[in-house]
Structure 1
């Protein structure tokens, strides 16, 4: 049986390597080669790989089929994007009221089980939720993240952005929606959330987890209230924040920002070892409270 190390046994450089691999700055071969430099004793390359790869099966907070939630896959039009898209629609079971609506935007690998879980969590909190799959035009999430990343890299970012803007429009017009729409995105999805805020004036609220910033020139167009979550150790994403913060301030935008000490990029994703339970719980509580304040 492969030994799986504890988080405190693994050096920060290994997490940084994984970040480069997850964002396709390293090929799998390069990743494995560099990872071997940290393989000492029981920390073999297979052990480190077992530690780093996502474990969806054992880390679901709200199971598929939870009786408290109604969920189904739906299609919606994306005339400026892929034409037609597919996503997971969730809402509280037996709901009869108009609900605040939330688009959940995945990372750079499609609608994987973790993001579907996040969508169900948001529905359980009382929202109408749509989690689109950017891989819909290519057949949908393939069942593993490596293939998902490769598939998503074949799509243009601007076209995918249009697909998620269309999702927000679709959700705002849904019969169960109260017309107030927010978006929450993670990594690639954080960039998407920033961009929807800059492109869609009717968006009410956007929550961004360690996402790239919109161009400073687009900041004057933002009407939504923003909530931004950053990991202290995520230097790659964080380096763009000071200029973005200055632009938000100069243009009088409403935003709140939180940095989480000793947390890595991806700290909210509880299927990987970058997960930081304390930071993730606090950030998600802030997210839900923010949506309750803005969308209900």
Structure 2
């Protein structure tokens, strides 16, 4: 399918935001839209690929660059610096990621293995990325609420439903957005933190979640999340894949798990197909009945 791909700009209360957008070129009218929320690594090739996958499936898809909003991107968050930090983390087995991030002594030992000067840059970028992730959720939510508004008024989507999906840091933001924006018609969470119990009752859309069993910091919050979703009467399904790590959907990282990723993607498309506007169909028996009337 031929796609229209572009970097678009929209305004938010947090400032101007750059976003990667893709849509089917052959669409004859408005189509449903999906906000794709980045991992901590930004709107990299993996996130752009997901945007294009949605466009190939008939959606207008948009991935806001959360690091572009406001006063500008600091040097530590330039794309090349983030790529270096990601390469460093990729050199560590997925099962050890959280240990390395939380243990400064161990992290410095691994950083010391990098060429002269590189360790300090990677350390600064990792500190900036994860420090920002811990303290910027309200800022990012404002940016994302504006993204939903931008899509809602976009000629390629106007009047159609809007869904949201996020990965890792973006997964937690997807859940938060579902709690705070009534204009969301469906939300999906890939290995992101669950919202607080006091927030779940504010959700007004169906929820789907996809997680790896070997991601204890995330999955430990799922029983409580499921309990609150049940209590609030929300349509939900939280799926945990056995023997699967964090970031199993990212096919650019050693954590990628093909079978879990395939199942999750198929389930996600089926979910959005229904929640964002299913197409009426006829069974063979119904067709025969209709045809006999002629």
Please tell me the TM-score bracket, short chain as reference: 0.7 to 0.9
Output aligned runs, 1:51-62, within 5 Å.
none
Q: Distance in 1 between matches of 2:210 and 2:10?
A: 29
CA radius of gyration, larger in: 2
Asked if 2 retains the 8 angstrom alpha-carbon contact of 1:88 and 1:131, the reply is yes
Partner of 2:145: 165
Whether the 8 Å contact between 2:148 and 2:183 is mirrored in structure 1 is: no
Q: Which residue does the alignment assign to 1:208?
A: 189
Pairwise CA distance, 1:169: 1.7
Q: Where does residue 60 of structure 1 map in the other structure?
A: none
TM-score computed with the length of structure 1 as normaliser = 0.73
Does residue 69 (structure 1) correspond to residue 69 (structure 2)? The answer is: no
- How many Å separate the matches in 2 of 1:118 and 1:176? 19
Q: Find the aligned partners of 2:16 and 2:166 in 1 and give their Cα distance.
A: 21
Q: Counterpart in 2 of 1:48?
A: none
CA distance in 2, matches of 1:141, 1:99: 33
Please, what TM-score do these two structures have when normalized by structure 2?
Answer: 0.74
Alpha-carbon contact 1:112-1:141 (below 8 Å) kept: no
Within-5 A mapping of 1:182-197:
182-197=163-178
Measured after TM superposition, the shift of residue 230 of structure 1 is 1.0
Output one character per residue of 1:216-266: Cα deviation in whole Å (capped at 9) or x when no partner.
Answer: 101111001101111111111001111111111011111112111111000
CA contact (8 A) 1:205 1:226 kept: yes
Asked whether the 8 Å contact 1:135–1:151 carries over to 2, the reply is no
- Structure in which a larger fraction of residues adopt helix: 2
Q: Alignment partner for residue 126 of structure 1, among 45, 58, 74? A: 58
Count of aligned positions = 228
Partners of 1:181 and 1:106 in 2: CA distance: 17
CA RMSD of aligned residues (A): 1.6
**Would you say the 8 A contact 2:179–2:200 is kept in 1?**
yes
Matched, 1:278 2:259: yes
CA–CA distance in structure 1, aligned partners of residues 78 and 22 of structure 2:
18
Cα offsets for 1:113-171 (capped at 9, x unmatched): 11111111111111000011111133375233326655544472210121112111211
The 3-state SS of whatever aligns with 1:232 is: strand
Q: Which runs of 5+ in 2 are unaligned?
A: 86-121, 278-294
Matched, 1:237 2:218: yes
Q: Which residue of 2 aligns with 1:105?
A: 37
How much does 1:109 deviate? 2.0
